[in-house]
Structure 1
């Protein structure tokens, strides 16, 4: 999903250092409060803002470093159809001191709570 909406590959070796890894770059855009910055410029303004935000955030959630924290395909479809809402705390990093804490926190709240680069995703 991120590749399609951002118009780029998962790894862009020729990109600026902060934009090399797609998932990390989109997450940085989210943290800065401007996730729409990650959208492919070729789309212009021909998209629904709420749908673009949903796809970007869902792409981040589906790319979580901890597999158990990623939503099932059933849940992904529910998010896309609007019958379920994404958790509001996708940008909640920190608070957990080790992977077990991150995993238990993530599964209960579906928070993205660790940098993606730490495990190579």
Structure 2
């Protein structure tokens, strides 16, 4: 068994025992949990701040956040809920994010689900 220093913001004086270096299943689960917890805290912080957006913009952001873990909303859902095709929805989403800004963890997740394109102007 090898001894490695703790990572991911843990106390550097604390050591953990690992039989396979960084691939210890417990450590992997701990890191995954911490990422999930940090995303959840950031989302809660963003929800708790006073809204400077209109109702449509808030609805689009909430909808995008809801569908982001699943790779983004299907075309049918964006059309039924907002009357937009997916590409227009994505364009509007990034316009809103550009106006308001957003937390780093949230933007990373949204980029994966709704990639930006070079929209014709």
TM-score, normalisation: structure 1: 0.27
Q: Which has more helix, going by share of residues?
A: 2
TM-score, normalisation: structure 2: 0.27
User: Rg: which structure is higher?
Assistant: 2
Q: Which has more strand, going by share of residues?
A: 2
